[in-house]
Amino acid sequence: MEREFVCIICPNSCQLKVEYEGKTIKKIAGAQCSKGEAFVKNEITNPLRVFTGSVLIENGNFSLVSVKTPSPIPKKYLKKIGEITRRIKVNAPVKIGQIVASNLLDNNIDLIATRKIEKKKSLSF
């Protein structure tokens, strides 16, 4: 079958014309780089996305810390991971890259912090 995909790997947003059967790509046109084919391969087998969101912070200089999955995860899990992030709370300080939750959904999905959070300074008068 024939379908058009928009590659989401970079802002070029290449429009890919793809001819495929089942899980095999037969013809692909429109990709400006080799990442396009790998993207389509995933799209027709198991579409992958990076999850980004935020979780609550205790005693931090901000109330939230932004998080992401270190690598793309199956698209179907995005909403479930979103639900989970609303129940997680971590303690400050947090470093960029620090794991804030691991093995979510028993599927080896981790969340790492993407922002540095320091401990809240106690107020002095």
Partner 1 sequence: MPEKEVIIIGGGAAGLAAAVACQQKGIEDILIIERGNYLGGILNQCIHDGFGLEKFRTSLTGPEYAQRYIDQVMDKKIPFLLNSMVLNLTPQKEVMVVSRNGLQRYQAKVVILAMGCRERTRGAIGIPGTRPSGIFTAGVAQELINLKDYMVGEKIVILGSGDIGLIMARRLTLEGAEVITVAEKLPYSSGLPRNINQCLYDFDIPLLLSHTVVDIEGNGRLSGVTIAQLGKRGGIIPGSKRKIICDTLLLSVGLIPENELSREAGIVLDPITGGPQADERGQTSVSGIFACGNVLQVHDIVDNVSLEAEYIVEGVVEYLKGKLTKEREIKVELGNGLRYVVPQKLVSIKDTIFSFRVNRPGRKKTLIFEEDQRIIKKKYFLRVNPAEMLRVKLSSSELEEIKTLKVRLV
Enumerate helices (H) and strands (E) in the chain, giving the number of each: 2, 10
Chain residues that interact with partner 1, rule: CB under 8 A: 6-11, 13, 15, 49-54, 56, 62-64, 66, 68, 75, 78-79, 81-83, 85-86, 96, 114-116
Nearer to partner 1, 53 or 90 (CB): 53
Strand 52-58 versus strand 89-91 pairing type: parallel
Nearer to partner 1, 29 or 102 (CB): 29
- State the minimum distance, in angstroms, from the CB of residue 47 to partner 1: 8
Nearer to partner 1, 20 or 81 (CB): 81
Cross-strand bridge partners of residue 24? 21
Nearer to partner 1, 26 or 86 (CB): 86
- State the minimum distance, in angstroms, from the CB of residue 105 to partner 1: 15
Q: Is 23 exposed, middle or buried (0-12, 13-18, 19+ CB in 10 A)?
A: exposed
* Sequence-separated (6 or more) residues with CB below 8 Å from residue 19: 1, 2, 25, 26, 27, 28
